[in-house]
A = this chain, B = another copy of it.
């Protein structure tokens, strides 16, 4: 059964790929991180939070859109642990969860050659 000109080589790669494929669960977790940061509206929130923590009112001011839309996106970013929240009196103050978030953004930005 010949499948391609490099059968032996590709077959070994395929077997190794299957052996080293992360679990469905891990693949799903990685995917959901990327999904969280793959919408322009959410990316803008992350870019905005590079300047430091902000309450919702100011995030809306920084990124535009309605309060409701921003609030929904904040929930998604929070659920996927990209940002963290703390209450401060009447406000909820958001900030980037950790350095990894910025690191990933910067890696892709430099790759794309777009200025941060």
Instruction: Give A residues with C-beta under 8 Å from B.
Output: 3-6, 9-11, 13-14, 16-18, 20-24, 26-35, 37-40, 43-44, 47-55, 57-59, 61-63, 88-91, 93, 98, 100, 103-105, 107-109, 111-112, 114-116
Contacts and interface: CB of A to CB of B under 8 A. Distances in A.
Q: Taking chain A's interface residues, is the majority helix, strand, or loop, or is none over half, making it mixed?
A: helix
Given A55-B4, A103-B107, A27 B13 contact: no
Q: How many copies does the complex hold?
A: 2
A97 to B, nearest CB: 10
Contacts of A27: 40, 43-44, 47
A112 B10 contact: no
Contact of A3 (B17, B31, B58, B115): B58
